[in-house]
Amino acid sequence: MSLLRVENLSIQFGGVQAIQELDFEISEGTIHSIIGPNGAGKTTLFNLITGLYRPSAGAIYLDDAQIAGKRPHDLARMGLSRTFQNLRIMMNMTAIENVMVGRHLHLNRNLLACMLRLPMITRADKAARKRCIELMDLVGLGGAIDADASALPYGALKRLEIARALASEPRLLLLDEPAAGLNARETKEIDDVIATVARAGVTVVLVEHDMKLVMGISDHILVLDHGRKLAEGTPDAVRNNPAVVAAYLGQV
Residues forming contacts to another protein in the complex (CB under 8 A) are 50, 52, 71-73, 76-77, 80-82, 84, 88-93, 97-98, 100-105, 107-109, 111, 114-117, 121, 125-126, 129-130, 133-135, 137-138, 140-147, 149, 164-169, 171, 192, 196-197, 200-202
Residues 6+ apart with CB under 8 A from 75: 50, 51, 62, 67
Report what 143 binds from ligand ATP, Mg ion, another protein, none; CB cut-off 5-8 Å by kind.
another protein
21 or 192: whose CB is closer to another protein?
A: 192
Please choose, from the candidates 222, 218, 46, 82, the residue with its C-alpha nearest in 3D space to the C-alpha of residue 161: 82
Among Mg ion, another protein, ligand ATP, none, partner that 39 touches (CB below 5 to 8 angstroms by kind): ligand ATP
Q: Which of residues 33-62 bind ligand ATP (CB under 6 A)?
A: 36, 38-44
Q: Which residues contact 135 (CB under 8 A, 6 or more apart)?
A: 99, 163, 166, 167
**Three-state DSSP state, 80:** strand
Give the nearer residue to another protein in terms of CB position, either 21 or 97. Answer: 97
| Burial call 153-162: b when 16+ CB within 10 Å, e when fewer | eebbbbbbbb
Distance CA 180, CA 112 (A): 42
Q: Looking at beta carbons only, is 167 or 207 nearer to Mg ion?
A: 207
E strands present in 183-239: 203-207, 220-225, 228-233
For the bound state, the minimum distance from the C-beta of residue 57 to ligand ATP, rounded and expressed in Å, comes to 16
Contact region with Mg ion (CB under 5 A), list: 39-47, 71-79, 234-242, 244-252: 39-47
Build a one-symbol-per-residue string for 71-100: x at contacts with ligand ATP by CB under 6 A, - elsewhere: --------------x---------------
Which residues have CB under 8 Å from 224's CB, separation 6+? 22, 34, 35, 36, 40, 41, 42, 45, 230
Q: Which secondary-structure segment (H or E) carries 248?
A: none
Question: Could you list the residues that contact ligand ATP (CB under 6 A)?
Answer: 13, 16, 18, 36, 38-44, 85
